[in-house]
Structure 1
Amino acid sequence: MTIRIKHEGLAVPVSPIFTLYIADLLISHKNEKAVTINFRDPTYSADDGGYHPVEIRLENEGDGWRFCYITDFCYVGSGYVAELAKDLDFDFDTGVFQNLFGTYPIEQAIEMFQVWESNFVYYAIVSKVFTIQKSVD
């Protein structure tokens, strides 16, 4: 069975390879209402760096899945005071983009999303640096 992800008309264009990769992760959850996918580099730390954790949420609308948000996290601070914070947040539901500097209309994040997506696809598909966990609603 093919999983359809609605990507037409998004304010931030999503590439076919990214869409296919995410759709493949949803195959075993085709009857769920919503799925949140977490990508983690097990070695990522505030002191040593690594690949940022990413969370992607999609909701099933019956005729296809819709992106709700894509959030990339990073450590802010160092040592024992470091904490994970949103580094980049593409919120399709509210139409906003957030980074560490502020909140903007999502349309202003097209170039940023393209760079982020290209890197994510390479890390996830080619380098396979992430462990993946899915939770369903």
Structure 2
Amino acid sequence: MTIRIKHEGLAVPMSPMFTLYIAGLITPHENENAVTINFQDPNYSADDGGYHPVEIRLENEGDYWRFNYITDFTYVGSGYMAELAKDLDFDFDAGVFQNLFGIYPIEQAIEMFQIWETNFVYYAMVSEVFKIEITQG
């Protein structure tokens, strides 16, 4: 069975390359109700930087899978006081985009999503910087 991810008609357009990449990752979980995919750069730290951790959640709608959210995290603060916070959050269920400055209608994030997606695809597929963990449910 081929995993189909619904990406047509979303408030922020997604590239076929991105959705095919995600579909390939969740194929072993095709019978699950939902999956959460975590992408982590093992060397990312508040002091040294690196590639931001990303979390993507999808739900199985029977004939296709649907994105719930895509969240990109960053360290806020420095040293022992640093903590991970949402840097960019594309919440498709709520129809909102959130960054460190506020919450906006997701339609206002089209350009931001395109930039984020281009970078993410390069980091994940070309540079292969992420350790990937997929959880069910």
Fold conserved between structures, TM > 0.5: yes
Aligned residue for 1:128, secondary structure, equals coil
Could you say which residue in structure 2 is the equivalent of 1:37? 37
Give distance in 2, aligned partners of 1:117 and 1:63: 25
| Structure 1: gaps of 5 or more residues | none
Aligned residue for 2:118, secondary structure, equals helix
| Structure 2: gaps of 5 or more residues | none
Q: What is the percent sequence identity of the aligned residues? A: 81
TM-score by length of 2: 0.99
1:64-114 deviations in Å (ceiling 9; x for gaps):
000000000000000000000000000000000000000000000000000
Give distance in 2, aligned partners of 1:65 and 1:20: 12
Could you say which residue in structure 1 is the equivalent of 2:8? 8
Number of residues of Structure 1 aligned to a counterpart in Structure 2: 137
RMSD, matched Cα: 0.3
Give distance in 2, aligned partners of 1:124 and 1:40: 10
TM-score by length of 1: 0.99
1:34-66 deviations in Å (ceiling 9; x for gaps):
000000000000000000000000000001000
Could you say which residue in structure 1 is the equivalent of 2:83? 83
Aligned residue for 1:43, secondary structure, equals coil
Could you say which residue in structure 2 is the equivalent of 1:119? 119
**After the TM superposition, which parts of structure 1 deviate over 3 Å for at least 4 consecutive aligned residues?**
none
Map residues 1-137 of structure 1 onto 2, 5 A cutoff: 1-137=1-137
1:2, distance to aligned residue in structure 2 (A): 1.0
Aligned residue for 2:32, secondary structure, equals coil
Question: Residue 96 of structure 1 aligns to which amino acid in structure 2?
Answer: V
